[in-house]
Amino acid sequence: MNASPFKVHQTTVAPGKRASIDIPVSRDAADSVVSLPVRVIHGKKEGPVLFVSAAVHGDEISGVEVARRLIKKVSPARLSGTLIVVPVVNAYGFVAGSRYLPDRRDLNRSFPGRPDGPLASRLAYLFRTEIMEKADFGIDLHSAAAHRYNLPQIRVSSESERALELARAFAPPVIMTSKLRDGSMRAFAHEIGVEMLVFEAGEALRFDKRSTRVGVNGVLRTMQAMGMLSLRKPKRPPHPTLEAHRSMWLRAPRGGIAAIRAESGRIVKEGAVLAVVRNPVGDEEDVIKSPIDGIVIGHSRLGVVNRGDAMIHLAQIGDTDTLLDPETEEWFTGVMLDEHEVM
């Protein structure tokens, strides 16, 4: 069936068309207009409405490139349903290289928001009324914080079987089921019946090819699973998808100079040395060993650490033996991040 027109803010988009809609958020202190940049790709045929958002945390920019490529790749002529892309939700933080809004509030703890609250609350309100409440499904793109790297992974609520199915269609290296946090976009989406995936990949303030590639292909595969696209060649990922329900941060046992031995993507057995911290003169060192069989899903990129700094994010997985190359004792799938790729 042909689609009906789709409205966002003051713009009505005809079936088979695209539209660029900049929704004003506020004027900043220097009197410049700050807006929410929205791109709507409205398919000819009826189908689900999916939103893809990035830079809710303004310094987590890896998803902005994923969003930019999706806008170029998806054609309204071949689309069933509607794709709403918001490449930069928190324009204030994006420009300032900051996770937060100028008032130091976290947008992802400000949902559902209200029209007369602090700036973060107003932006959350605008985003949910103009975007989320018009969608059936959402994918929010994040990265690790500054000086940390995340293996591309999907975070999904264990409460939704449908969202888990779509996470499997996305096919990232790792799916982590996690609890909903109060005030987050995902918790609000759950309340209003919008299924959501959170994609975490790469490092704040940087782009990397692997995060971009896994992100773009994952969203396209998810859209295919939702019946929005039929891809000529559905690209299969070059790795299996591991599912984990529990993860832990391993912290620096002392201050000093840090060397990570097992970067994100590495499968490790209990007892494996994951990182070493030495004093600067080199006569003392402590090691961090893996307390479980697992996969490293995030690691610190800082060279100097204090006691207690988070160094390795480890997710628990079942049987590691089947995943390891018997010769090298490493994951054979090519997700290893020996070099930090840049665009």
Query: Using CB under 5 A as the criterion, which residues of the chain lie in contact with Zn ion when the complex forms?
Result: 57, 60, 142
DSSP tag of 103: T
List the strands of the sheet with 285-289, edge to edge. Answer: 285-289, 273-278, 256-260, 304-305
Q: Return the amino acid letter for 165.
A: E
Q: Report how far residue 166's alpha carbon sits from residue 283's, in angstroms, rounded to the nearest whole number.
A: 51
Least separation, in Å, of the C-beta of 39 and Zn ion? 21
> 299: closest CA among 291, 288, 307?
288
Q: Is the Cβ of residue 60 or residue 65 nearer to Zn ion in the bound state? A: 60
Residue 60 or 208: which CB sits closer to Zn ion?
A: 60
Beta carbon of residue 194, minimum distance to Zn ion (angstroms, whole number): 19
Nearer to Zn ion, 66 or 288 (CB): 66
User: CB of residue 330 vs Zn ion: minimum separation in angstroms?
Assistant: 29
Beta bridge partners of 316: 294
- Shortest Å distance, C-beta 51 to Zn ion: 16
How many CB atoms within 10 Å of residue 18?
17
**57 vs 266 by CB, closer to Zn ion:** 57
Q: How many alpha carbons lie under 13 Å from residue 285 in its C-beta half-sphere? A: 14
Angstrom distance (rounded) from CA 273 to CA 307: 18
CA distance 291 to 240: 23
CB nearer to Zn ion: give 146 or 336. 146
Cis amide leading into 48 (omega within 30): no
Q: At what angle do helices 209-225 and 161-170 cross, to 10 degrees?
A: 130
Q: How far apart are CA 165 and CA 169, in angstroms?
A: 6
The least CB distance from residue 98 to Zn ion, in Å, is 12
Q: Cβ closer to Zn ion: 60 or 130?
A: 60
In whole angstroms, the minimum distance from the beta carbon of 11 to Zn ion comes to 29
Residue whose C-beta lies closest to Zn ion? 142
